[in-house]
Amino acid sequence: MTIGIPKVVYQNLGIVEYQWVDIYTRLSRERVLFLTQEFKKYQTNQLIGLMLYLSSEDENFGMFIYMNSSGGSIICRLSLVDTVQYIHSRIGTVNVGIVGSIAAFVLSSGKKGKRIALSHARFIIHQPESGSQGQATEIFIEVNEVIRIRGIVKRLYSKFTGKTLNFITLSMNRDEFLNAKQACEYGIIDLIGKYARYLTTTKKN
């Protein structure tokens, strides 16, 4: 039997009546957002739209993105990272399970001091990949674009983690599996588990 998405009671400001809304809608009103699947354009645009709306509503309140994702489109993730850097609201990121590939990159882009992992969270780091198909000329063009994007990701990773570009390049040459403590040493996150509890609030910055 499928349980479906739980619903909870919610009361909009200025409205007397209560209403039932799904739990994710309720949490989004508290600026608690989720990234829990392999992201493609539609899902990415939804999350970006929600972030932009909440920031325009009150840019002095922060947000938290709870993540449990194996990766996804590099272009979608770059657009999400750009949005995190663009809006005025401070964005905290939390790994609640596993962040793989480019999802770990998105998590590292959060506000320093508010990048968190639960105690048994895991991380996977590797190069953005290309699924090149088609004629040789098209493959050559796509490979060049992937190389260019890899350079962007490496430079931003270096900025977010504080590691040298050479360190990041060597680290991303093969799959690297990290636990929460190793991710903290790497510079992807700042705090682990219970030590970050007091930070996971969306009160004013």
The set of catalytic residues is 101, 126
- C-alpha–C-alpha distance, residues 11 and 14, integer Å: 9
- C-alpha–C-alpha distance, residues 67 and 35, integer Å: 5
Residue showing tokens 């705090």: 191
Burial 44-75 (b: 16+ CB within 10 A, else e): beebbeebeebbeeeeebbbbbbbbbebbbbe
Show Cβ contacts of residue 122 under 8 Å, excluding neighbours closer than 6 positions: 95, 97, 98, 99, 177, 178, 179, 180
Structure tokens at 60: 């002095």
CA atoms within 13 A on the CB side of 89: 26
